[in-house]
Amino acid sequence: MERLITKIKAIDWDDIALNMNEKGYAIIPKLISEKQCKVLLNMYDEPIAYRKTVTMERYRFGLGEYKYFDYPLPEIIQTLREQIYPKLVPIANLWMKVLKMEKEFPDSLYALQKQCHDVNQLKPTPLILKYGKGGYNTLHQDLYGEVYFPLQAVLFLNEPNVDFDGGEFVLMQQIPRAQSKAIVLQPKKGDMLIFTTNFRPIKGKKGYYRANMKHGVSELHRGARHTVGIIFHDAIS
């Protein structure tokens, strides 16, 4: 994992912060290798790795399936979670400050997990998602409990327009007293997308205001699409 850690340290995190502040999302191209994508894909059918499987249509979440990893997390996911979280804390704390919210996030993932565990949020939230033809995911937010971190990430394990068609990642920005704005993205295999969990600040004429955000996946027309979601806070269940 040393190569991955070095790669994360070499990222221009000031540029990531700029994109997050201006758009509510940022793409890191080719963060993980072809081999690492394959390792995660091959892990999908290993039941021992997971604590829970969810069939989306059963709960009207969409059409597809996702599985929550159990602790201990796979090394690559644990490394990404531990190494990326501290890079995002300054962004999250700035958002809290400009929105005048009395919340400050700790510097380490361990400290955030302690806050989760203190309110009985004990379950890991990283997950792997699988969609086939016709699959989609309805707009939603990944909160899981009282304690949540306002940024999260997703890794893309398949190549769009090669392994699948359609299946775009959709962000919906709900602007107060205005129409909602859809942001449609199609990151490539190995890319990581960082985005807001449930809201972001936008600067208006009278200061910053809070724009609520949801995310989902548009319908797949062909092939199979897999992603790994990296959420930093733990869950009640």
Per-residue model confidence (pLDDT) at position 178: 78
pLDDT at 74: 96
Asked if 172 and 182 touch (Cβ cutoff 8 Å), the reply is: yes
Query: How do residues 92-129 score in pLDDT, each as one tens digit?
Result: 999 999 999 999 999 999 999 999 999 999 999 999 99
Q: How many CB atoms lie within 10 A of CB 182?
A: 12
3-state secondary structure of 101: coil
What pLDDT is attached to residue 177? 76
- As a whole number of angstroms, the distance between CA 217 and CA 195 comes to 14
The predicted structure's pLDDT at residue 145: 96
Q: Is the pTM of this model over 0.85?
A: yes
pLDDT at 176: 76
* Alpha-carbon span 177 to 32, nearest angstrom: 40
Residue 9: burial class (beta carbons within 10 Å; 0-12, 13-18, 19+): exposed
User: What pLDDT is attached to residue 56?
Assistant: 97
Q: Is 209 exposed, middle or buried (0-12, 13-18, 19+ CB in 10 A)?
A: middle
Q: How far apart are CA 38 and CA 236, in angstroms?
A: 30
Structure tokens belonging to residue 14: 């000031």
Q: What is the pLDDT along the chain (237 residues), one digit of tens a residue?
A: 899 999 999 999 999 999 999 999 999 999 999 999 999 999 999 989 999 999 999 999 999 999 999 999 999 999 999 999 999 999 999 999 999 999 999 999 999 999 999 999 999 999 999 999 999 999 999 999 999 999 999 999 999 999 999 999 999 999 877 789 999 999 999 999 999 999 999 998 889 999 999 999 999 999 999 999 999 999 998
Cα four-point dihedral sign 224, 220, 169, 144: negative
* Confidence (pLDDT) at 1: 85
> Residue 205: its pLDDT value, please?
86
pLDDT at 61: 95
Give the per-residue pLDDT at 221: 98
Please provide residue 227's backbone torsions phi and psi, each rounded to the nearest 5 degrees: -140, 160
